[in-house]
Structure 1
Amino acid sequence: MQVMKWSALALAVTAGTTQLAFASAQDESKGFIDDSNLTLLNKNYFLHRDFRNNGVNNGGNATDQNYRQEWAHGISAMYESGFTQGSVGFGVDAHAMLGLKLDSGRGTAGTGLLPVGSDGRAQDDYSYAGGAVKAQISNTQLKYGNLFPTAPVFATGTARLFPGSAEGFQLLSSEIEGLNIDAGHFTSIRDGSASTNRHGIISLGYAGAFDIQEVNYLGGSYAISDNLSASVYGAKLKDTWNQYYANLNYNIPLSENQALNFDFNLYDTSETGDEMLGKIDNTTWSLAAAYTLGAHKLTLSHQRVDGDTPMDYISMDGANFGDSIFLANSVQYSDFNAPNEKSWQVRYDLDMTTFGVPGLSFMARYLVGKDVDGTGADVNGAYNQFYGADGEEWERDLEAKYVVQEGAAKDLSFRLRHATWRSNNDMGGTYSGGSSALDEIRLITEYPLDIL
């Protein structure tokens, strides 16, 4: 079985060897300083989450408030040096973050935007810094330190004020044209927003704050043609699970302003080692089909979970979730990844460039999930009694975004997002704060500046 799961990557490597490698990035290096870049991002974030049921569990603090609301401003500086010249190049990356509370209350804290103290109050401000060292040979880089992995089996979160980071090693290689290899070994994580502990535990979004001591992964993507690409990854979370991922993306141009796109994602997860979460046998897949006609794009997707546990993925130090769930129906609030769940999505995107307003776009989507049944979960495992036998849920998301196209404020963006989510009692309350109904508003402003 494992041989079959890795065969796609082996085929990609074999196919890639018939093509010429890229010119060596290290040979073209201009040096440590000349290839350096420094970016500064101002991010303003307002989040209002209204639990339609009273008496929710508010970030571990019992409260009569039925909503959470916070407003924060973050300033992040990201520096990437070039590589020293020679056969082997060396460099450094560094980042520094400053978060400022603009609005939060003891009864409404816990949105994940700001660290919360033992008194239930969000910190007025917080800051931290991190960095990494790196080396390059040809088109292969090895990094160690505080990194930002984006693999589909291990990706830190980006949904709040600052991106999370993980501490460990990462190898990135693109020696063969069209083939990108990504391998990582990580031992701790920093949330960056709700928890700034540098050596925070690698935990799980649905199972909770289990301390995973070590994560190893290997994978890559291969561009078979200009319109067809494939990815295969495998990960081992020590004493937790082995997880495999595959993706196939196919784009079909129909005319100058028409195209079809098909995107298939597959995860297969099973327990390993000391089986910290109990028995796991989960296969989850999604298939999305998108039709683009000029400014309009219509997407239909179906997602299915085969297993008595949810398709779980990492969270950061028991706080915000990571991004390692590359499924079509993982959206603003729900992931539609409950045990045995079947879900459908219809989505519409509108790009106003065609109508004379470049930078303005709109999105609307509706999802429904049914047939959730978690009663077969391992009675001694972490997911026992999470879900009932007949869970259902639905979500509606609306979004408007505008990006300034030119002038002094070029790339300044404004994004307004609204989500409505409802479920029945069999969905459980593990990730919904004890509520079965929620309305959410996010207003996000970002202003990136290139300093170097």
Structure 2
Amino acid sequence: MRVMKWSVIALAVSAGTSQFAMASAQDDAKGFVEDSTFSINTRALYFSRDKRNNNSGQSRSEETGLGFNGLYQSGFTQGTIGVGVDAIGLLGLKLDSGKGRAGTGLFPTGSDGRSQDDYSKGGAAVKFRLSNTVLKIGDQYTTAPVFASDDSRLLPELPQGVSITSNEIKDLKLEAGHFTSSVAQAQTYKDSITDFPGNHVGLKEANFVGGVYAWTPEFTTSLYYSKVEDYWKKLYANVNWTHALSADQSLAVDFNIYSTKSDGAGLQRAEKDDTTKLDNRAYSLQGAYTYQAHTFTLAYQKVSGDGDYGYGIDGGGTVFLANSIARSDFNAEDEKSWQARYDLNMATFGVPGLSFMTRYVNGSGANTGTTSNGKEWERDIEAKYVIQSGPAKDLSLRVRQATYRSSDGVYYGSSSIDELRLIAQYPLNIL
């Protein structure tokens, strides 16, 4: 989750500098049909969650599903303003579940507590392009750090709204969005998205604006602002720097910060006091050193002010913080957390496509309402292999295991959680 930022003052300077001018992408338009693409991403997912010492309610969830994500993207018609269409089709199939094992978030759940056998959703967006600026209206995925749709289960979230993305100046990306609804990952209807605590209230309106600028090939920055009606206003900033020390060594530094303040009705409030509105800062700083096949990463994260860092109603992926990992985000009020991570790329040893990762995050000082010094830790282990050639080229196989513990069980309803995910994913490009 590395993005870049931009300042309005620097934009004004750049706009007056001729060297930043770019060729028009619309001038190269080949046509609505000629530039069309169609792909289907197939994902098989086994998900197991064991709340080891949960004495109330269901202690174990275990389900398997198969998801299909079809995306058609037309080209743009020729002329000064190009017109095109994007269409999305999503289908989820239940392969294994049970009334006592539902609740993984892979499928919609009925009133009887059972997961549905199948579910589908989809939509389309019309798009317009002028020079290097694209306006899109309708159903679309989002990746902005203040409004990012989530794709961590079988099928992704699908927001509805208007977005505009401009790349008129070299190395500068500007974007803005206006969204009024979203379909949750395991739902089929609009306004099914929930906020982080899981309250179902529906998205009324979310607006954002921001940009990404690459000052050099090694140094990038970004700045974003958003407002979610009756929830909050957010300001996000990022600085990212990478530097090659030699042919097989490099350094990377990444800094992220959110400033969140309640807005309007302030529907999400500080967890320790349901009358206190949010007014907090959450930041993370991480550094990584890569030597040949090995990458070593250290990170620190801190939340200060009133309330947890809140997200969810503005997209389940809107948490671009270093210690937001498989199970926990380490985002409680006043919480401090640090991370140690190790990655191994086996291509250096003659096995391209095979990689391993392990990390450990420890958090303390969390104000949760029941304690002022909540503690939690998580250890993740992952192995992944991507087939490099042949009929199954690009098929990826991944194993993800997470072990989570907290001091008082206030997180996720249990102080001990073990998770296992087995993921097979195959992208097929038809056009």
What is the TM-score of this pair, normalised by structure 1?
Answer: 0.90
Which position in structure 1 is the counterpart of 2:376? 393
Which position in structure 2 is the counterpart of 1:9? 7
Asked whether the 8 Å contact 1:70–1:103 carries over to 2, the reply is yes
Separation of aligned partners in 1, 2:192 and 2:420: 29
Separation of aligned partners in 1, 2:342 and 2:264: 44
Deviations 1:359-413 (A, max 9, x none): 0000000010011124xxxxxxxxxx3x521100000000000000011110000
Deviations 1:93-134 (A, max 9, x none): 001112111100101101011111111111111222211111
Asked whether the 8 Å contact 1:292–1:298 carries over to 2, the reply is yes
Query: Which structure 2 residue ranges, 5 or more long, are not aligned?
Result: 270-276
Asked whether the 8 Å contact 1:332–1:419 carries over to 2, the reply is yes
Which position in structure 2 is the counterpart of 1:44? 44
Whether 1:443 and 2:422 are equivalent positions in the alignment is yes
Deviations 1:13-62 (A, max 9, x none): 13532232221111101000111100011110000000012345xxxxxx
Query: Which structure 1 residue ranges, 5 or more long, are not aligned?
Result: 1-6, 57-62, 375-384
Which position in structure 1 is the counterpart of 2:395? 412
Distance 1:288 1:297, change over 3 A: same
Deviations 1:162-198 (A, max 9, x none): 1111111010110000110111000110013x2111x
SS in 2 for 1:310: coil
SS in 1 for 2:63: strand
Pick which of 227-236 and 92-101 moved more: 92-101
Which position in structure 1 is the counterpart of 2:302? 304
Separation of aligned partners in 1, 2:243 and 2:52: 43
Asked whether the 8 Å contact 1:207–1:312 carries over to 2, the reply is no
| Number of aligned residue pairs | 418
Following superposition, the deviation at residue 201 of structure 1 comes to 4.2
Whether 1:254 and 2:245 are equivalent positions in the alignment is yes
Root mean square deviation of aligned Cα: 1.5
Separation of aligned partners in 2, 1:251 and 1:223: 12
Asked whether the 8 Å contact 2:293–2:345 carries over to 1, the reply is yes
* Selected match of 1:242 from 219, 225, 233: 233
SS in 2 for 1:419: strand
Separation of aligned partners in 2, 1:269 and 1:167: 23
Which position in structure 1 is the counterpart of 2:355? 361
Deviations 1:190-227 (A, max 9, x none): 013x2111x22443113622333100000010000000
Following superposition, the deviation at residue 8 of structure 1 comes to 5.0
Asked whether the 8 Å contact 2:48–2:420 carries over to 1, the reply is yes
SS in 2 for 1:208: coil
Which position in structure 2 is the counterpart of 1:329? 323
SS in 2 for 1:27: helix
Which position in structure 2 is the counterpart of 1:74? 67
Which position in structure 2 is the counterpart of 1:178? 171
Separation of aligned partners in 1, 2:280 and 2:181: 25
Asked whether the 8 Å contact 2:148–2:318 carries over to 1, the reply is yes
Q: State the one-letter code of the partner of 1:166.
A: P
Separation of aligned partners in 2, 1:235 and 1:224: 24
* % identical equivalent positions: 49
Which position in structure 2 is the counterpart of 1:100? 93
Asked whether the 8 Å contact 1:12–1:222 carries over to 2, the reply is no
Deviations 1:416-438 (A, max 9, x none): 0000000011x624xx1x21110
